[in-house]
A and B are shown apart, each in its own frame.
Chain A
Amino acid sequence: QKEVEQNSGPLSVPEGAIASLNCTYSDRGSQSFFWYRQYSGKSPELIMFIYSNGDKEDGRFTAQLNKASQYVSLLIRDSQPSDSATYLCAVNYDNAGKSTFGDGTTLTVKP
């Protein structure tokens, strides 16, 4: 079992809909959680980070963290075709050092 699990998808939503991306992690000591967007052939681009239980909103993006359930999610509201990419979930154990990544969820937003 991988330390960070994501549904590989592909996830397809119509333009304007809400896309929901999920991630679970195995290490209860994990403290920092990150979402990256990665276009094909490009490097990961940081979208959001979250450290505390609850919701964190930034524009059209909302990250949700539930440490008891070891679950972190990303909601994308008003999805646009330009949001079509692979979304990577990353987890840090001790706020210092390496990130452990899931293998990503591929999102397609259809016009």
Chain B
Amino acid sequence: DTGVSQDPRHKITKRGQNVTFRCDPISEHNRLYWYRQTLGQGPEFLTYFQNEAQLEKSRLLSDRFSAERPKGSFSTLEIQRTEQGDSAMYLCASSLAFQGDTQYFGPGTRLTVL
């Protein structure tokens, strides 16, 4: 399978705990994106990387959220001190620059904060 993969697929945690999600993009893609989606809404942009550089971060993203892409391949998204409002589907997408930035999504990680 050469698509975008995400791990874990589901995460249940208690309020106040830290969680980390991983995304492996399509191998030749140099751009990687994180989105968050809640029920009935479209995906909401969180941040994106080109290679290892984090080029944009949503102003809606609180300081509890951090993302890394240390070697320009896989990426991690960490949420510290989770809140119930963080419950959502966290989507990762990747693209190849100079191809119109067509983004392909992974299966997502569904986070439930109790």
A interface vs B, CB < 8 Å? 4, 32, 34, 36, 42-46, 49, 51, 88, 90, 92, 95-104
Contact = CB atoms under 8 A, between A and B. Distances in A.
Q: How large is the interface on B (under 10, 10 to 19, 20 to 34, 35 or more residues)?
A: 20 to 34
A81 to B, nearest CB: 22
Contacts of A100: 45
A22 to B, nearest CB: 15
Give the interface SS of chain A, mostly helix, strand, loop or mixed.
strand
Contacts of B104: 46
A42 B55 contact: no
Given A44-B105, A97-B55, A98-B33, A103 B97 contact: no
Contacts of B55: 97
A102 B42 CA distance: 6
B26 interface: no
B43 interface: yes
Given A43-B106, A43-B108, A96 B101 contact: yes
A97 B42 contact: no
Given A98-B56, A101-B44, A43 B91 contact: yes
Interface string B42-61: 11110010000001101000
